């Protein structure tokens, strides 16, 4: 999964250094299966950059309706790989279809286990607020997956001088969902 998305990290690393002359303090990405996040993180693997992964928190990581195996799941096996998974009592749910998955790539499970990345379950309402804010203030309509990373960035902003956020997709595919949630339909 990492190899196919690694161009994300290499280009982001080069662009960040070109524009600032240094590396970011932190890198943030959304995590469903985990390929886009690992593609970003891999370029900074050996650097003193703190990694943060935003999972689909649905109704909250402490609820039974979320998609956050790293923040609120257990160790187990899925598709023949040892990783972090959600148990049968959890209804896999996220406002974002791209994060709505009961497990995660094993490299993320390892990053969690060794403390290389902090993963947080971002509730639907926080992701929707971030989606709306970026759309209104910058004219950029992010994917709902990306909106989770934006919401997490807001949570950690005071702890870092510079943060690189992976805007992993466009939100035009999510406009119907957003319109329903914001009662614009």
For residue 93, give the DSSP letter: -
Element (H, E) at 65: strand 65-66
Say whether pLDDT at 118 is over 70. Answer: yes
pLDDT digits (tens, 9 = 90+) for 43-69: 999 999 999 999 999 999 889 999 999
| % pLDDT > 70, the chain | 97
**Residues across the chain:** 185
Residue linked to tokens 């039974």: 64
Mean pLDDT for all residues in the chain: 93
Q: Region 58-84: what's the mean pLDDT?
A: 94
Count of CB atoms situated within 10 Å of the CB of 45: 13
**Cβ contacts of residue 153 below 8 Å, gap of 6+?**
28, 52, 163, 165
Say whether pLDDT at 4 is over 80. Answer: no
Give me the number of domains the chain comprises. 1
pLDDT tier at 152, thresholds 50, 70, 90: very high
CA 4 to chain centre: 17
pLDDT tier at 3, thresholds 50, 70, 90: confident
Tokens representing residue 137 in the block: 């203030």
Q: What is the CATH number of the domain that holds 72?
A: 3.40.50.1100
- Coil, helix or strand at residue 108: helix
Domain that holds residue 126: 1-182
Cα 52 to Cα 141, 145, 156, 176, 180: the distances in Å are: 22, 14, 9, 28, 29
Residue linked to tokens 């910058």: 138
What's the pTM value of the predicted model, to 2 decimals?
Answer: 0.94
**Rounded-to-integer distance, Cα 57 and Cα 184, Å:** 24
**Contact by Cβ (8 Å): 44, 26:** no
């Amino acid at each position: 999964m990492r190899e196919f998305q690694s161009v994300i990290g290499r280009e982001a690393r080069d662009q960040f250094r070109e524009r600032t002359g240094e590396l970011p303090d932190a890198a943030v990405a959304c995590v469903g299966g985990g390929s886009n996040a690992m593609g970003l993180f891999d370029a900074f693997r050996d650097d003193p950059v703190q990694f943060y992964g935003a999972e689909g928190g649905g109704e909250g990581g402490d609820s039974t309706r979320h998609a956050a195996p790293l923040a609120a799941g257990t160790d187990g096996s899925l598709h023949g790989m040892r990783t972090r998974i959600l148990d049968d009592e959890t209804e896999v749910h996220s406002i974002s279809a791209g994060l709505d998955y009961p497990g995660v790539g094993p490299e993320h499970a390892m990053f969690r286990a060794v403390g290389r990345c902090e993963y947080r379950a971002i509730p639907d309402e926080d992701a929707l607020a971030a989606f709306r804010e970026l759309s209104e203030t910058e004219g950029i309509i992010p994917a709902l997956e990306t909106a989770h990373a934006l919401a997490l960035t807001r949570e950690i902003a005071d702890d870092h001088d510079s943060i690189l956020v992976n805007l992993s997709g466009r939100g035009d595919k999510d406009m119907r969902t957003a319109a329903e949630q914001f009662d614009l339909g």
